[in-house]
Structure 1
Amino acid sequence: MSRLVIAVVALAAAIAGGAGAFYLKPAPEPVTDIAAVRAIVEEVLSERDAAARVETASTEIDPAELNPMIEDYLMGDPTILQRLSTALDTRVQAEEREKSRTALAAVGDDLYEAEGHVVLGNPEGDVTLVEMFDYNCGYCRQALPDLAQLLAEDPNLRVILKEFPILSQESIEAARVGVLVAQADVDYWDFHEALFTSRGQVTKETALESAEALGLSRVSLELEMNTEKVASVIQDSYEIARALNITGTPTYIIGDEIIPGAIGVEELRQRIANMRECGSTACPSE
């Protein structure tokens, strides 16, 4: 018998004490010291574990053999990589959406109910599209027709425009004039469109001329454009951008999604439709 069996049996007998004699044939030298028996058991188990580790190590595949096997497997079905990439994209998008949802919830009413921002379209619309823009943003200029088309075709869309001047001092000055125009009794869209269709860089002068064309007083605008009331509206946009990690223009916000860049009218239209269908910009596939 093995030393382990003998030791275990002897250990049991020693522990049992006077419960009776137990004999093995052929009988080894009796071991009556419990500590000694336990030492034998521990030694045998230790040797067995070491042998198992050696056996496991010997079965490891050499990378020089394993890597070609993996490559052959992937080359045999290249769609595996495509499926992995798709799965990764889906997971990343889900994680980003969850981050956006959390950040948007934290911002709360500051995003949708702040004073001084511009509301276009249907104020009671069932879907709200927010755009953060800079008058000197070329991509915002290119995206202007997209917004115009959505407003024209969708009577249930609410659009919120937020001044987010980040490109230059001229952008900040034009935005200050824009804040005052938004608070005046004129058609803000006419002003907005005039600045984005003007030639060259949009400056304070550009904004003042466009505001004057709507009947506003240039003198009054210049006196008020640097007041705290105007600055606070723009500062609110900066704080929202910081909270949502928005760093560029245009940036759209629809439902639970923050959308950087001019993505085109079709993409915007689809996201708006999804909001109506399932309450999210991306509805689960059937």
Structure 2
Amino acid sequence: KAGGAAWAGLALGDRVAKLSSKAGHGLGEVADRTRAGLESVAKAGKEGIGEAATKLRPAPPEEPAPPPSGLEQLLAREAAEAKPAAPDLPLFAGEPAVAPAPKKTKSGAVAEVDDRSPPPRALAAGPMPHIGGAGMDGGSTRAWLAGGIAAIVLLAAAFWLGGRFGGGLSKGEVETIVADYIQANPQIIPQALEAQRDKEIAKAIDAIRPALEKPYAGAWAGHADGDVTLVVFTDYACGFCRASVPDVDRLIREDKRLKVVFRELPIIAPQSRNAALMALAAARQGRYDAFHHAMFAASSLSPAAIAEAASRAGVVTDGSADATANEVLFQRELDSNLAIASQLQLNATPTWVVGDQLFQGQVGFAALKQAIAKARAKG
């Protein structure tokens, strides 16, 4: 009885019921408020959510600027020590590209042809040359060098991004590795530039190959339907062109599947054009090879020497088929050759094109034979 009276006195049942009722009422209010808040956020749209998230997101801690990396220091030193790029070799060694007019002797004859011309070298890729006067300006490798360095910088950036987001090396570590590798293997830069240059040359050759390999009339030698065509740009004032004649003759003699196309490119001396015009006249008459050899065997480019070479080759010069009577027609061919040379960025003679390869200078029989074999292997 005493326990029952104490329990009734406490009235715990009523108190629990009241607390449950109040708690339920409070939870209902909280739910209502939450529902109203969510509806407000939904009405605010994505922009409101983004702004709220931006405000709630803690600001990133400011980091001090990193010191210059090894690669940046290397490039800065190279830029500070770089000297102005040397211009391409002129048509005459040690002289301007346009040759001065030859001196005349007391008898009025033109002095002997200057045998000087550029040494053999690979074509330097660069801006398109501008044709002016009797010479052509060559491109510069400066643009390719900048492109190679830029490629290396991009490579370092790629490694850095991979390290930052892929769990690899840090930016400074990658740049130090790249800089150390370049210092230990400096040959990778010219190798990269050469590979890129070769691709650009091959692309330029393919773009004009039909016009390049189609000879003017009879200005060709060897097999008419050869499986490989060797194109040579020549100038009768070029000593290295003269010295290369035996190499071409030997190639034709030993390779019965080779076709050689000659393109007149008179860019060295003013008299070069007169000899080129007569060569084209000889080509129209089927006498090109004979005149080609006779003209290179001459000691000068005087009018008398050109006429003598034409006579020895059997070229008709009575006005019915000579260079003077057809000067406009032949000049059109010379202009076409100059345009092709501009497309290929030529700046000297002799220039050789076979397959997708291009060489300048007196490269020799062995080098030409190897280039022909390489072109033949590619099909």
Normalising by structure 2, report the TM-score. 0.53
Cα gap change, 1:271/1:193 in structure 2, threshold over 3 Å: closer, same or farther? same
> 1:266 Cα deviation (Å)?
1.1
Q: Match of 1:253, as an amino acid? A: V
Q: Match of 1:240, as an amino acid? A: I
Task: Tell whether 2:228 aligns with 1:216.
Answer: no
Question: Using the alignment, how far apart are the partners of 1:254 and 1:62 within structure 2?
Answer: 45
Question: Using the alignment, how far apart are the partners of 2:375 and 2:323 within structure 1?
Answer: 43
Q: Match of 2:356, as an amino acid? A: D
**Corresponding residue number in structure 2 for 1:97:** 198
**Corresponding residue number in structure 1 for 2:306:** 207
Matched ranges for 1:147-186 at <5 A: 147-186=248-287
- Do the aligned residues in 1 keep the contact of 2:216 with 2:283 (CA within 8 Å)? no
**Corresponding residue number in structure 2 for 1:271:** 371
Cα gap change, 1:267/1:38 in structure 2, threshold over 3 Å: closer, same or farther? closer
Cα gap change, 1:80/1:114 in structure 2, threshold over 3 Å: closer, same or farther? same
Question: Using the alignment, how far apart are the partners of 1:106 and 1:207 within structure 2?
Answer: 35
Q: What number of residue pairs does the alignment pair up?
A: 230
Cα gap change, 1:203/1:81 in structure 2, threshold over 3 Å: closer, same or farther? farther
> 1:268 Cα deviation (Å)?
0.9
Question: Using the alignment, how far apart are the partners of 1:141 and 1:160 within structure 2?
Answer: 16
Give the SS at the match of 2:336. Answer: helix
**Structure 2 portions without partners, runs of 5+:** 1-29, 36-51, 75-172
Matched ranges for 1:63-74 at <5 A: none
**Corresponding residue number in structure 1 for 2:295:** 195
Which one has a larger percent helix, Structure 1 or Structure 2? 1
Cα gap change, 1:41/1:174 in structure 2, threshold over 3 Å: closer, same or farther? same
Question: Using the alignment, how far apart are the partners of 2:55 and 2:376 within structure 1?
Answer: 75
Question: Using the alignment, how far apart are the partners of 1:142 and 1:39 within structure 2?
Answer: 78
Q: Which has the higher contact order (CA 8 A, sep 6+)?
A: 2
Give the SS at the match of 1:89. Answer: helix
Question: Using the alignment, how far apart are the partners of 2:354 and 2:266 within structure 1?
Answer: 21
**1:56-105, Cα deviation, whole Å (9 max, x unpaired):** x4x74787xx88xx9xx99xx9x9657441x3233222222222222223
Question: Using the alignment, how far apart are the partners of 1:105 and 1:195 within structure 2?
Answer: 32
Task: Tell whether 2:130 aligns with 1:118.
Answer: no
Give the SS at the match of 1:159. Answer: strand
Give the SS at the match of 2:318. Answer: helix
**Corresponding residue number in structure 1 for 2:234:** 133
**1:198-219, Cα deviation, whole Å (9 max, x unpaired):** 22x3233222111112333333
Question: Using the alignment, how far apart are the partners of 1:219 and 1:104 within structure 2?
Answer: 39
Matched ranges for 1:221-232 at <5 A: 222=322, 224=324, 227-232=327-332
Question: Using the alignment, how far apart are the partners of 1:80 and 1:62 within structure 2?
Answer: 14
**1:214-244, Cα deviation, whole Å (9 max, x unpaired):** 3333333656455312211212111111222
Question: Using the alignment, how far apart are the partners of 2:238 and 2:292 within structure 1?
Answer: 13
**Corresponding residue number in structure 1 for 2:61:** 49
Cα gap change, 1:227/1:90 in structure 2, threshold over 3 Å: closer, same or farther? same
> 1:18 Cα deviation (Å)?
4.6
**Structure 1 portions without partners, runs of 5+:** 1-13, 20-36, 280-286
Question: Using the alignment, how far apart are the partners of 1:38 and 1:216 within structure 2?
Answer: 91
Question: Using the alignment, how far apart are the partners of 1:39 and 1:273 within structure 2?
Answer: 67
Matched ranges for 1:9-24 at <5 A: 18=34
- Do the aligned residues in 2 keep the contact of 1:136 with 1:202 (CA within 8 Å)? yes
Normalising by structure 1, report the TM-score. 0.69
Question: Using the alignment, how far apart are the partners of 2:279 and 2:264 within structure 1?
Answer: 8
**1:235-271, Cα deviation, whole Å (9 max, x unpaired):** 2111111222212111111111222222111111111
Cα gap change, 1:172/1:215 in structure 2, threshold over 3 Å: closer, same or farther? same
Give the SS at the match of 1:128. Answer: strand
Question: Using the alignment, how far apart are the partners of 1:254 and 1:39 within structure 2?
Answer: 64
Task: Tell whether 2:254 aligns with 1:242.
Answer: no
Q: CA RMSD in A?
A: 3.3
